[in-house]
Amino acid sequence: MSNQPRHIAIIMDGNGRWAQAQGKNRTYGHEKGAETVRAVTTFCAANDEIDRLSLYAFSTENWKRPKLEVEFLMKLLEKYLKNELKTYLEGNIRFEPIGDLTLFSDSLRQTIEHVRRETAGCTGLVQSLALNYGAQDEIVRAANALIARNTPLTAESLEHALDTCENVDLLIRTGGDHRLSNFLLWQAAYAELFFTDTLWPDFTTAELEKIIKKFKTVERRFGGLN
Ligand code: IPE
Ligand code: IPE
Ligand code: MG
């Protein structure tokens, strides 16, 4: 039996370099990158084998960027969520944010909550957007939540206190770098890792299909013997 790519996670990297390569501002790359998000999400929603798509949109470390770029990303995110509500509903896609949302503006938080609530009844793909997400921060928040509830710390209790307890099957990073940059460190413990030099705005569903095909041929052992 071949592997099912039930949960795909993507580190969407390379927007800035994509724009700079054509003499444009980095922000132009983020706008183009949002179009790739739509295309990849729609593709995954139409694929019955895929239940969950986790997309790294803004890390806990991305606040270190110039203020103008951070502000642009916040505005783009709000605009994207407002514009895409229709796409979510038409595609039966449930929007589920992960990350620490408390640092966002009231307006952005309200938009995130609105889209989450409006799509809560959707039963197809879950699109999980990682927003002010860092795996180390997630694990510390989870551990603190258990301590506050006086719950013994076990692998199981900690996993269930994370923003998501869904293990990743296939993790893809675009943009040429070979690192995880603090994304889903717990959930990707046995994920298959795929790296491509393609910059995120140039990433296509055809390339995703190729990666999925390769993923299906891999022998996953989870520490056992086959
Ligand atoms: C990924 O693209 C998007 C975010 C991190 C928000 P980058 O903005 O990191 O683009 P590069 O890697 O600098 O080209
Ligand atoms: C990872 O990309 C974060 C997102 C894609 C949101 P970065 O561009 O921030 O990662 P580093 O700095 O190259 O590790
Ligand atoms: Mg980058």
Which pLDDT score is estimated for 226? Answer: 82
Distance CA(38)–CA(26), nearest Å, equals: 19
Using 50, 70 and 90 to split pLDDT, how confident is the model at 65? very high
Distance CA(85)–CA(6), nearest Å, equals: 23
- Rounded percentage of the chain residues whose pLDDT exceeds 90: 99
Using 50, 70 and 90 to split pLDDT, how confident is the model at 2? confident
Structural domains in the chain, sorted by start: 7-215 (3.40.1180.10)
Copy the structure tokens of residue 84. 């895409």
Using 50, 70 and 90 to split pLDDT, how confident is the model at 145? very high
Which helix (H) or strand (E) element contains residue 204?
none
The question of whether 62 is a catalytic residue gets the answer yes
What is the atom index within ligand 1 of the atom nearest the CA of 59? 5
Which ligand is nearest to the Cα of residue 132, counting in written order?
A: 2
Strand partners, 195: 173
Distance CA(195)–CA(208), nearest Å, equals: 11
Mean pLDDT of 154-161: 98
Mean pLDDT of 171-191: 98
Q: Determine the distance separating the centroid of ligand 1 and the alpha carbon of 62, expressed in angstroms.
A: 9
Mean pLDDT of 163-189: 98
Confirm or reject: Cβ of 192 under 6 Å from ligand 1.
Answer: no
Strand partners, 58: 131
Copy the structure tokens of residue 141. 């928040």
Which ligand is nearest to the Cα of residue 33, counting in written order?
A: 1
Copy the structure tokens of residue 188. 């990707």
Which residue in 3, 25, 47, 62 is the catalytic one? 62
Mean pLDDT of 98-105: 98
Which residue has a Cα nearest atom 3 of ligand 1? Answer: 13
Burial 162-188 (b: 16+ CB within 10 A, else e): bbbebbbbbbbbbbeeeebebbbebbb
pTM beyond 0.75: the answer is yes
Distance CA(15)–CA(27), nearest Å, equals: 8
Mean pLDDT of 117-145: 98
Confirm or reject: Cβ of 32 under 6 Å from ligand 1.
Answer: no
**Three-class SS state of 56:** strand
Confirm or reject: Cβ of 56 under 6 Å from ligand 2.
Answer: yes
Distance CA(89)–CA(156), nearest Å, equals: 33
Q: Determine the distance separating the centroid of ligand 2 and the alpha carbon of 34, expressed in angstroms.
A: 15
